[in-house]
Each structure stands twice: as structure tokens, then as C-alpha cells.
């Protein structure tokens, strides 16, 4: 995109026991003699019941939970995630279990509630989680040799839309306003309200250009958007959709002719930070360091990269980053008037 989306897109009782001695006893002697106080045995206080300490994190009794952002199909993520978790367990000695939350918001809540410790977070998802004090980034993913990506609008080739994308050069042949005007009054397929490339930015760009579309179909996951468009030559599910570039490859095994049936209408520049590996706030520094080292080692081998790529995210590598990695993206969101926290329910 030629304008970098500048238009795109706020938780003693002190117990005190006073024991009073018995008063002096009187005798018939003319001058009373002080009688030593009768000894009062101390009151026995029953021992305070204490709960046993919680099992150490990363043990079979208290495993580390690795949560995967639901940007691909749940079964694909679960299968690939379990393979990655098993390898990490082998490398670190930690017991690691995998979960796929129902949506991006549920994953943020899991990170904050101590129900997820390692999170593979999408960019806006991370910005919200970090802003709430739930997560800290450690690693960014690499795809197609880059740590940033763009989004695309797609439609069924039989739906009657004109493509303004030149596959040979990987560039657009028209400005967004012209290319996207044809989506007016059409129904989109969106992934998740917290997805940068599957909703926030594509819908923001349409709005910035005054293009009003119908209420979208929330189909969860970029591959599902591609499948929905594939199956909608006449708008049966939706008229067009938005995904990361190029999500069509994620469904090629099931739909070998997907590139012929689902056409790219227009693409953005690759300005969105890739998803990441983040740790929940209750994960210790030592544990973070050990896990990060293992993940980097994994990404440095052919076997490890094959595992990462098979996890549903098509990851080619990992690199160490900190929160400043997202600073430029925050500027884009702010400039577009988008406050990610308002999208979090």
C-alpha cells in the first residue's frame, strides 16, 4: 500500500491474650501477708491450619500451559502445538500442555488469570495483553524471511470482482479507494475482532475510504476465511474476505485449485509485526530464559523448523525482540483512531 495506512485505522488480626493473676487471699493475721498469685496455665492455641504450597510450575502436577492463538483450524493448531510442546519438554525438562482458546479475547484472559503461561500471540492481541500487564514478548516469528506481514482482500473468481493485484510483481495496479469500491454493500468474512489482518485493518481501510459493507460473517481463522470464499461463488457465506498474505497456501492440501478459485483483489504493504511468543507475568525470569533459549535452539535446526512450520502458523524461524518491536505499529493504530482496548470484551 502506498500510504502506509496512515488513515487507518484506552487488591492482624493480632491476637492478644491477657492473663490476669488471681487477687491476693486474706488471712486472719493482723497484718495481711501477700499471697503469691495462683499460676494460670496458658491457654492452648490450636495450630493454624496451613495449605500445602502449590506444586512448582512446570511439573506434572502444575504444568506450563502453552496457548495458541486461534488463527488457523483448532485441530491443526492442537496437533502441531502438542508436537512443539513435547519437544520443548524434552529440551527443558518442563511439563508443557497445549490449549487453543476459543478466540483472541479468551486467550488474553487466560494469560491474565494464570491459565496460560506461554502465549503465541497475534500483534493486537499482544498489545492489549501487555497493556493490561498480562504478558511480555520474548520472540517474534519469521515468515517468508520477514518479521512483518501484510493483509489481503480475496474473493471467489466467479463472484464478479475485478482483481487489482499483479501476481507477477506482487504489487497493486490501483489505489485502495478504486480497488475496494467494488465491495460496497457486500458481505465480508472476518476472522476475529482482535485480528490485525483479518478484521481491524482491512475494515478500517474500507471505512477510511468511505466504503460501507454489510455486517460480516465471523468465521474464526484465516484458513476458514479462504475456505468460505472458495465455497461462495455467489456470496453463499460472504462476498469477499480478508486474511494475511497469502493464507491460501494454508488450505492448498484440501483445495489444490485454491489459487485458481480464490483470487487476490488488493494487498497492503507488510507493515504488521508478526505474531510472537510471550510469557505471562507469573513466569519467572529463569524459566523465561530457559524456554527462550530452547525455542531459539529449536528454530535453528531443520527438525525444529519443520515442527514450527507444521504447527499451523507456517513459521520459518524466531528472533529475540522486546516490547519496542511494536512501537511503530502502535503509531499506525493511533493514527487510524483505533484503540485496541475497545475491541477487547
Helices 123-131 & 327-336, crossing angle to 10 degrees? 90
Can you give the pLDDT at residue 29?
45
Strand 188-190 versus strand 64-68 pairing type: unpaired
End-to-end CA distance of the chain: 31
Which helix (H) or strand (E) segment is 344 a member of? none
Can you give the pLDDT at residue 337?
74
Q: Which residues contact 99 (CB under 8 A, 6 or more apart)?
A: 65, 66, 67, 68, 110, 116
Q: Which residues contact 44 (CB under 8 A, 6 or more apart)?
A: none
Q: Which residues contact 58 (CB under 8 A, 6 or more apart)?
A: 64, 92, 93, 94, 95, 96, 287
The least confident of 79-83, 275-279, 336-340 is 336-340
Most confident among 12-21, 154-163, 297-306 (mean pLDDT): 154-163
Q: Model confidence at 4, in pLDDT bands (50, 70, 90)?
A: very low
Q: Which three cell numbers stand for residue 340?
A: 485496541
Torsion of CA 65, 69, 74, 75, to 10 degrees: -60
Q: Model confidence at 345, in pLDDT bands (50, 70, 90)?
A: low
Cα separation, 339 vs 341, in Å, equals: 5
Q: How far is CA 23 from CA 18, 28, 120, 343, in A?
A: 15, 17, 74, 73
Q: Model confidence at 24, in pLDDT bands (50, 70, 90)?
A: very low
Q: What are phi and psi of 272, to 5 degrees?
A: -90, 125
Can you give the pLDDT at residue 310?
76
The least confident of 38-52, 156-170, 276-290 is 38-52
Q: What is the pLDDT of residues 108-142, one digit of tens each?
A: 999 999 999 999 999 999 999 999 999 999 999 99
Instruction: Compare 165 and 105 and report the one with higher pLDDT.
Output: 165
Can you give the pLDDT at residue 55?
87
Cα separation, 335 vs 340, in Å, equals: 12
**Share above pLDDT 90 across residues of the chain, in percent, rounded to a whole number:** 68
Q: What is the pLDDT of residues 34-52, one digit of tens each?
A: 445 554 455 555 556 567 7
Q: Model confidence at 33, in pLDDT bands (50, 70, 90)?
A: very low
Q: Model confidence at 19, in pLDDT bands (50, 70, 90)?
A: very low
Cα separation, 131 vs 54, in Å, equals: 28
Can you give the pLDDT at residue 80?
84
Q: Model confidence at 71, in pLDDT bands (50, 70, 90)?
A: low
Instruction: Compare 79 and 341 and report the one with higher pLDDT.
Output: 79
Strand 171-172 versus strand 165-166 pairing type: antiparallel
Bridge-partner residues for 278, per DSSP?
Answer: 119, 137
The least confident of 35-49, 173-187, 268-282, 289-303 is 35-49
Cα separation, 95 vs 83, in Å, equals: 13
- Region 246-253 average pLDDT: 92
Are 243 and 197 in contact by the 8 Å Cβ rule? The answer is: yes
Amino acid at each position: 500500500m502506498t500510504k502506509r495506512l496512515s488513515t487507518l485505522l484506552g487488591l492482624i488480626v493480632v491476637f492478644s491474650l491477657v492473663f490476669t493473676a488471681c487477687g491476693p487471699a486474706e488471712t486472719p493475721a493482723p497484718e495481711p501477708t501477700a499471697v503469691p498469685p495462683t499460676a494460670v496455665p496458658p491457654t492452648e492455641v490450636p495450630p493454624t491450619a496451613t495449605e500445602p504450597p502449590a506444586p512448582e510450575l512446570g511439573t506434572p502436577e502444575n504444568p506450563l500451559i502453552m496457548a495458541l492463538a486461534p488463527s488457523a483450524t483448532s485441530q491443526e493448531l492442537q496437533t502441531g502445538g502438542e508436537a512443539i510442546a513435547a519437544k520443548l519438554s524434552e529440551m527443558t525438562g518442563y511439563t508443557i500442555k497445549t490449549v487453543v482458546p476459543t478466540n483472541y479475547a479468551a486467550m488474553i484472559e487466560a494469560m491474565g488469570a494464570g491459565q496460560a503461561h506461554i502465549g503465541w500471540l497475534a500483534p493486537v492481541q499482544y498489545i492489549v495483553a501487555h497493556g493490561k500487564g498480562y504478558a511480555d514478548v520474548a520472540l517474534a516469528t519469521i515468515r517468508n524471511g520477514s518479521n512483518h506481514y501484510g493483509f489481503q482482500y480475496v474473493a471467489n473468481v466467479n463472484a464478479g470482482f475485478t482483481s487489482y493485484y499483479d501476481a507477477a510483481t506482487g504489487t497493486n495496479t490501483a489505489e485502495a479507494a478504486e480497488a475496494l469500491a467494488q465491495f460496497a454493500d457486500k458481505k465480508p468474512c472476518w476472522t476475529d475482532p482482535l485480528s490485525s489482518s483479518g478484521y481491524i485493518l482491512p475494515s478500517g481501510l474500507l471505512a477510511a475510504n468511505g466504503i460501507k459493507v454489510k455486517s460480516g460473517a465471523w468465521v474464526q481463522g484465516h484458513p476458514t476465511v479462504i475456505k468460505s470464499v472458495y465455497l461462495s461463488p455467489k456470496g453463499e457465506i460472504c462476498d469477499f474476505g480478508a486474511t494475511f498474505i497469502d493464507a491460501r497456501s494454508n488450505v492448498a492440501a484440501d483445495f489444490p485449485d485454491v489459487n485458481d478459485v480464490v483470487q487476490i483483489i488488493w494487498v497492503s504493504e507488510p507493515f504488521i509485526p508478526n505474531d510472537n511468543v510471550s510469557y505471562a507475568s507469573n513466569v519467572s525470569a529463569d524459566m523465561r530464559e530457559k524456554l527462550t533459549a530452547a525455542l531459539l535452539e529449536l528454530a535453528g535446526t531443520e527438525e525444529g523448523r519443520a515442527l514450527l512450520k507444521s504447527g499451523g502458523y507456517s513459521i520459518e524461524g524466531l528472533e529475540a525482540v522486546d516490547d519496542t518491536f511494536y512501537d511503530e505499529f502502535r503509531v499506525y493504530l493511533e493514527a487510524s483512531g483505533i484503540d485496541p482496548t475497545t475491541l477487547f470484551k
